[in-house]
Structure 1
């Protein structure tokens, strides 16, 4: 299975705003993937979400593999897709009190080359749900911190964590409105990029 690199375009001026979505769960029917798909399918006019596939194909980051001309194809495709996007949104559960390894690994690949990675200067937000009383807050905090270190501009107001284990997030109108609001905040962000 190979990934086709995205074409780089200035989508803010011609096609609206493009958002690359990183899903932190590899399970085909995960709730967070379904949240990402719902956001994609109900995005406002002028907003285009692309769920970045192939995170499972990324080897664990190893500088020995990250050599010009020999960087793994999945990593090149990831960098091209994220680099071509106007915004990046992580939609992730929480595993053992932090973000899943697949998301952490993707952020590692996106952080290189240091100071010039695909996330540098890009507005970044993180949302997601986890059926625990904490709702994924630690995972979201860790993902935001890693993205900031990688040079992203973390939009602090883009945050939705499931607050109750009794809520069906896919059917709960209030939760869906909060998720849609978080996406609107990310898309509408016009802050100045800060140095990594």
Structure 2
């Protein structure tokens, strides 16, 4: 089972990217996480180039199409999804309805240094990818005060939150396995 991991943060020392990378340790047996780090290279969405997008967009779409599922980990900026991540989702949503996200199992969680753990961004991201046709795992996992609640690898220090993260990953794999059968 191949899971494509996407961090919504461009920051080098991002809590979300650390959390994403560390989540690989909690995947069910037989699953692997490939972290995609090309978000910075995706140009602004432009309908004039929808049918002939830049090579970075073509490569991104191919990565999503090849994956069995997609796992997003996002920060929250101004009560929403970071602009570059929303832009990338817009590229994935085209051409509609036959796009890279159609039927793709997806989960979205988030971390922030605030108390609420990017809860609004997670919600917006789930709505955006679901509208594009993804099969979205209906679960949220806010990781608040990430600068204090993540260990040196990026995993939640709290055992219950770590267990919840493992549950999200198990749920995503089960959703993807169901998609393969169906």
The question of a shared fold, defined as TM-score above 0.5 by the shorter chain, is answered with yes
Q: Does 1:162 align with 2:143?
A: yes
Q: Does 1:25 align with 2:15?
A: no
Q: Deviations over 1:121-142 (max 9, x none)?
A: 0111101211222211100000
1:77-100 deviation line (CA, Å, top 9, x unaligned) = 100000011111110111110011
Aligned match for 2:161, one of 153, 157, 175: 175
Q: How does 1:3-22 map to 2 (within 5 A)?
A: 17-22=1-6
Aligned pairs for 1:44-59 within 5 A: 44-59=28-43
Name the structure 2 match of 1:185. Answer: 171
Q: Which runs of 5+ in 2 are unaligned?
A: none
CA shift for structure 1 position 191: 5.7
Question: Structure 1 residues 163, 154: CA separation in 2 closer, same or farther (over 3 Å shift)?
Answer: same
Runs of 4+ aligned residues of structure 1 deviating over 4 Å after TM superposition are: 163-167, 190-193
Given the two structures, how large is their TM-score scaled by the length of structure 2? 0.88
Across the aligned residues of Structure 1 and Structure 2, the Cα RMSD in angstroms comes to 1.9
Distance across 2 between alignment mates of 1:165 and 1:52: 21
| C-alpha deviation, 1:162, in angstroms | 1.9
Match for residue 47 of structure 2 among 53, 57, 63: 63
C-alpha contact (below 8 Å) 1:23/1:92 kept by paired residues? yes
Residue equivalent to 2:77? 95
Once the two structures are superposed, what CA deviation does each residue of 1:18-60 show, in whole Å capped at 9, x if it has no partner?
Answer: 1111110011210110001101244332101111121101111
Contact 2:16–2:73 (8 Å) recurs in 1: yes
Give the 3-state SS of the residue equivalent to 1:21 in structure 2: strand
2:26–2:169: 8 Å Cα contact kept in structure 1? Answer: no
- TM normalised by structure 1 equals 0.82
Residue correspondences, number: 174
CA displacement, residues 62-119 of structure 1 (integer Å, 9 cap, x when unaligned): 0112233xx2010001000000111111101111100111210110010001101100
**Which residue does 1:86 correspond to in 2?**
68
Identify the structure with bigger relative contact order (alpha carbons < 8 Å, sequence gap 6+): 2
Give 5+ residue unaligned stretches, structure 1: 1-16
1:121-167 Cα offsets, whole Å, 9 max, x none, are 0111101211222211100000000001111011103x210245784
Q: For the Cα contact (< 8 Å) 1:66–1:72, is it kept in 2?
A: no
Q: Is the 8 A contact 1:169 1:176 kept in 2?
A: no
d(CA) in 2 for partners of 1:160, 1:184: 13
Alignment check: 8 A CA contact 1:169 1:175 kept: no
